[in-house]
Structure 1
Amino acid sequence: MRFSCVIPTFNRRERLRVALASVASQSVRPEEIVVVDDGSRDDTQEYLTGLQRTSPDLPLVVLRQENRGPAAARNAGIRIASGDYVAFLDDDDLWLPEKLARQQQILAVHPDIALLGCGADTLFAPRGGLLQDIGLRSMLIRNWFLTPGVVARRDVLLACGGFPEDMCVCEDYALWLSIAEKHRCALLNEKLIVCGDGKRSFGESGLSGNLRALYAGEREVYRRWRKGRRGGGLYLGMCEFLAAIKHMRRRMVVAWERGTADPAP
């Protein structure tokens, strides 16, 4: 069982250093760490070149490309990865030391799992239990998988077409749904990652903080899912309704915390 870690990065040299340190400190290291520099304009490339020279024990593979976004960067990393499984990490997140070891243990017992996620401060499966299967219907209601917590079979990622590169928000959700349609997905109910310095997945700075963009991304996922599929329209409509309620709740939370009223949809 071979693991490749794929990290897309763009102009975040210092945060990338912390992310890489969390991979290097794993009790079970991946066979390779593929860093895809998505056209950084800072000193990221010089830092990575120096790291390859000064840390020959770190299995670092560096790929540089023109800026095309995180989906294209992850796809490029998947294509050149040599592992049976790809473990994703973003450059502003980190793994806790036992992350990969715990997922390896689960996959050794459950080799039919194609996509395995893990918990974080903001994400645990509601019904408890160490390992919870996440079926397609549950996935349509919400995205249960944070990208830096995901380990997925490389052949399945490629067969499903990778991350849709024409989406800049919720592209991970679109891919996970494609996988869940035909393969077993599960969540390891343990906190094994820290996302963005512990920030919420919404309402903060950066791309994920743009609530309108996030909601538009969810709607686009549903639109693409509905296209070309027959049946299930009523259930999907319910999922879209729940997404609208979730969007309004997020806006209310952020407006309350900022002490401002922002009723616009």
Structure 2
Amino acid sequence: MTAPLLSVIIPSWNRANWVCDAIDSALRQGPDGSIEVIVIDDASSDDTRTLLLQRYARPIKAGTLVYRRLRQRKGSGYARNQGVALASGTFLAFLDSDDLWLEGKFKAELDIFARFPQTQVVISDSLSFAEGEANKQSRFEFNGLQASCNKRECWLKECDWLWTNCENSVATCSITLRRDLLPDLGLPLFADDLISCEDWELELKLYQFCRVRVTPALFAHVRSFDDASRVERAAASKTRSLKQTLSLLQNRRTVMERTRLLPELPQYLHKEFNRMRKLTEQQLAQLLSSDNQLPSIDN
């Protein structure tokens, strides 16, 4: 069997209602055999296993869909790492089980990799939805990357974008990288000791050490639903609880404590990183000193 061009890792926990949409949007990205979808079921207690084995019996038999169920819930970072270990594609991408890719995403990325062979990572824009209602801004509009790249395809190093601010991250489903980067990035690819910010920690590695091509094209819908599957994070349109906010800030601090920015990076990136570090410490101190007040987590 010929190796696929793209391996798509989908971690899922109790998302039987949505995961098929994600799988179908991934499989539509190329002709049969060019896309490998790997679903890591993080010990779901719903009917995910039965549904997938029935609905995707043919692609599972053909090897274009790989399904693995973990015996114990480990979190999305661990689940993604299990998928990475199984991947065989030239390129690697990640898609959460409630998100969708739009038609033509991988075709456009392949074109970029072909036109600029030195490209190691491609990032693109996305639009978020809460309970089916779209945000007013796309991710690139919100985080400043749309303005920084002047709404045109370019190299990341040409963008004055504050990616050292954790609020300016891109959607994980908007990142596609060459699988041969893995030895240089180090394994496990995602931190499995965090329940949030593990995606930002990966971004900090990619943007420092890889040749990243930015396209302002919008190729993903990042969806969230109040379906009880976001225990550690706020559900769609819901305010974070004190416990969720504490967890987020602690994970954010952990990422910044173990990240060492390259000294040759522009000083404005170092300055923003240090500002975020101090702000996070202040927010944590404020939260821990108050029994019932939720601190602001704005920039």
TM over 0.5: yes
Cα deviation digits, residues 90-139 of structure 1 (max 9, x gap)? 00100011111111111111222222111013322223243232249843
Q: What is the rounded CA distance, in whole Å, between the counterparts of 2:123 and 2:276 in structure 1?
A: 23
The aligned residue for residue 146 of structure 1 is 171
The residue correspondences of 1:85-96 to structure 2 (distance < 5 A) are 85-96=91-102
Cα deviation digits, residues 214-253 of structure 1 (max 9, x gap)? 33333222111149x77989964542424776999xxxxx
TM-score, with normalisation over the residues of structure 1? 0.79
Cα deviation digits, residues 163-202 of structure 1 (max 9, x gap)? 0111111101111212222211232111100001599xxx
1:221 paired residue among 248, 251, 255: 255
Report the more deviating stretch, 87-96 or 214-223.
214-223
CA shift in 2, pair 1:145/1:57, >3 Å: same
The question of 1:22 aligning with 2:25 is answered yes
2:105 paired residue among 99, 110, 115: 99
| Counterpart code for 1:123 | R
The question of 1:119 aligning with 2:146 is answered no
The residue correspondences of 1:180-195 to structure 2 (distance < 5 A) are 180-195=207-222
Structure 2 unaligned regions, length at least 5: 128-137, 227-232, 283-292
Q: What is the rounded CA distance, in whole Å, between the counterparts of 2:190 and 2:239 in structure 1?
A: 17
Deviation at 1:77, TM superposition (A): 0.6
State the superposition RMSD in angstroms: 3.5
**Residue 192 of structure 1: SS of its match in structure 2?**
strand
The aligned residue for residue 172 of structure 1 is 199
| Counterpart code for 2:152 | L
CA shift in 2, pair 1:211/1:186, >3 Å: farther
The question of 1:8 aligning with 2:11 is answered yes
CA shift in 2, pair 1:247/1:123, >3 Å: farther
**Residue 177 of structure 2: SS of its match in structure 1?**
strand
Structure 1 unaligned regions, length at least 5: 249-260
Cα deviation digits, residues 69-89 of structure 1 (max 9, x gap)? 111111111111110111110
The aligned residue for residue 256 of structure 1 is none
Report the more deviating stretch, 169-178 or 156-165.
156-165
The aligned residue for residue 75 of structure 1 is 81
**Paired residue total:** 250
Q: What is the rounded CA distance, in whole Å, between the counterparts of 2:23 and 2:255 in structure 1?
A: 31
**Alpha carbons 2:169, 2:203 under 8 Å: kept:** no
Question: Structure 1 or 2: larger helix share?
Answer: 1
Identity of paired residues, percent? 25
